[in-house]
Structure 1
Amino acid sequence: MATITNFLAKQAPYLTPITNTTPQFSSLHSSKSKSKSKQKFPNLETKSRRKFSTAVSVSAAAAASPGAEKLKKGDERVKQVHTADEFDEALRAAKNRLVVVEFAASHSAKSSKIYPFMVDLSRNCSDVDFLLVMGDESDETRRLCAREKVEQVPHFSFYKSMEKIHEEEGIGPDVLAGDVLYYGDSHSAVLQIHSGEDVEKLIGDHKIDGKLIVLDVGLKHCGPCVKVYPTVIKLSRSMEDTVVFARMNGDENDSCMKFLKDMEVVEVPTFLFIRNGEICGRYVGSGKGELIGEILRYQGVRVTY
């Protein structure tokens, strides 16, 4: 491996410790307010149940809006599943593609409110599969929700290779879009790094051209990592002539975790700045402005705060 200087990251209370891989649901309401903002399936009454086509799950309020007809015509990429067998087959057919599932209910205003945004994402993310499960549609869908440990809606689960890799409750459009980018990105200018050997190759490829390498090191279930990733994608496109962006999830495998330990990465997200085969600095945090400032600084641009 090229020469790498270790830097001990300065700890900050709002960052996810490297030892903590528990999903971070920073946007959830407190337990005191959950009952007011989310609906539980066990309390559903038969009279409140009704079958939903994918388009009909848009609320009456949304249907009255100017864009409602457009939403109905464009939501064919969101597939509604009605049984566990249909659900499993959809996950199986997706293979390694990201599958985003909204578990919703006909009586939930929040489910209806977030659904149009998922439709928009389905149009723009052709490499991601989107599913809808109406939890109160039938006994079959209620059993499916119980199997997937979904008790409250709206609930989003993310799957790859039939494995649940992430889940969120009560989120808004920005968090949903960030999650889809973070867990499904396969077409941006950000290189996906899967091992320490991949890092060696990346450094070797750019040891002569003088390009700055920005390596985004995070964890699969790190809220701040997800939050900052859309900025990383935008920067990778606007700076592609002078900067190479790459990403590694430290908890993906043993090789990645060993790399984090070797680099003394104790908090995530950590951004390593590499030039001419050596690490020249790092930034620990998820501040968009601070990250941009650090990148410019390591490119030789004078930055004042």
Structure 2
Amino acid sequence: MASITHCTNFICKLPIPPSISTHPKFLPLHSLRPSLPNFHTKSKIHSHRLHKRVFITKATAAPPSGAEAAKKKDERVQRVHSIEEFDEALQSAKDKLVVVEYATSDDSESIEIYPFLVDLSRTCNDVKFLLVMGDESEKTRELCKREKVDKVPHFTFYKSKEKIHEEEAIAPDTLVGDVLYYGDNHSAVVQLHNREDVEKLIEDHKVDHKLIVLDVGLKHCGPCVKVYPTVIKLSRQMSDTVVFARMNGDENDSCMQFLKDMEVIQVPTFLFIRDGKIDGRYVGSGKGELIGEILRYQGVRVTY
């Protein structure tokens, strides 16, 4: 498979075959033709922090400074102490998102980021949060070794016991964006998993003539993650007139085929659909530009 050639803070660019125009026509869904090769991306969000610490060798049961106080206020961040406890936690989560922070007791960045994990645990009831202290004991060091974690703070994301994403030394806003992007099952954004889901959504809104804003992205696309909190916020504010939906093109073959049919060559791409036809599209992660485009397709005059 071909891979994404370049990923910036604005878009992830996909290979463009010679037969594809960089400005594809906006056509009814049924008339678009497959024209892009399959692709896969390993691009990830770049960390805002560069200094990470290797796990120390001594064993200590002390949690990060400041984390214990937060833990007393909220017990939703589960502390795990061994491989057995870790595997049991993943098993019990079933298909929920599981976010794991690997930390050490004397690492300043681990201390700084933990309170944000606690805050997320209070508001994201559909996500399970775990804490592993890598320097706590020989058992936790064995767990870190098995999971190939040797630097902290390190975050891994699991669904159905499968690791779907991981980050090192990330800033709080990136952590929040990741949790919303990979674990969003409670917002007004409709999650689409195949072409049939898209067709049903379009059919459901032919009667009310609502504008459908379809966010097309990839699992590990940094700009897609960056703009998604804005999509969630807009879905709540504009629920009376606009339907927001999302699809990750690399989720399965059906989603990948949909990207081909829609001639999506860069992500995130937002398709504006009304009455079964694509009225237009916006490519990029600019929050202001996205809002402006949505308003424009709603018939609101927008000046830049």
Instruction: State TM-score, norm by structure 1.
Output: 0.86
Superposed CA RMSD in Å reads 1.7
Deviation beyond 6 Å, 4+ runs, structure 1 = none
Q: Name the structure 2 match of 1:5.
A: none
Q: Name the structure 1 match of 2:42.
A: 22
Aligned equivalent of 2:60, options 39, 50, 56: 50
Give the superposition deviation at 1:17.
3.0
Give the superposition deviation at 1:137.
1.1
Q: Distance in 1 between matches of 2:116 and 2:257?
A: 38
The DSSP-based 3-state class of the residue aligned with 2:235 is helix
Q: Distance in 1 between matches of 2:236 and 2:74?
A: 28
Give the superposition deviation at 1:107.
1.7
**Is 1:40–2:54 an aligned residue pair?**
yes
Larger helix proportion, structure 1 or 2?
Answer: 1
Give the superposition deviation at 1:180.
0.7
The DSSP-based 3-state class of the residue aligned with 2:75 is helix
Q: Name the structure 1 match of 2:194.
A: 195
Structure 2: which amino acid aligns with 1:27?
A: S
The DSSP-based 3-state class of the residue aligned with 2:279 is strand
Instruction: State TM-score, norm by structure 2.
Output: 0.86
Structure 2: which amino acid aligns with 1:15?
A: I
Q: Name the structure 1 match of 2:112.
A: 113
Q: Distance in 1 between matches of 2:158 and 2:57?
A: 30
Structure 1: which amino acid aligns with 2:135?
A: D
Q: Distance in 1 between matches of 2:11 and 2:299?
A: 28
For structure 1, which runs of at least 5 residues remain unmatched after alignment?
Answer: 1-10
Give the superposition deviation at 1:115.
0.3
1:102-251 paired onto structure 2 within 5 Å? 102-251=101-250
Structure 2: which amino acid aligns with 1:50?
A: T
The answer to whether the Cα contact below 8 Å between 2:71 and 2:77 also exists between their aligned partners in 1 is no
Give the superposition deviation at 1:174.
0.8
The answer to whether the Cα contact below 8 Å between 2:99 and 2:127 also exists between their aligned partners in 1 is yes
Greater CA drift, 240-249 or 17-26 = 17-26
Give the superposition deviation at 1:88.
0.5
CA deviations over 1:239-298 (Å, ceiling 9, x no partner): 000000000010110000000011111111100000111000000000000000000000
1:81-120 paired onto structure 2 within 5 Å? 81-120=80-119
The answer to whether the Cα contact below 8 Å between 1:122 and 1:130 also exists between their aligned partners in 2 is yes
- Cα 1:80–1:12, aligned 2, differ >3 Å: closer, same or farther? closer
Structure 2: which amino acid aligns with 1:80?
A: R
Give the superposition deviation at 1:110.
0.3
Greater CA drift, 232-241 or 73-82 = 73-82
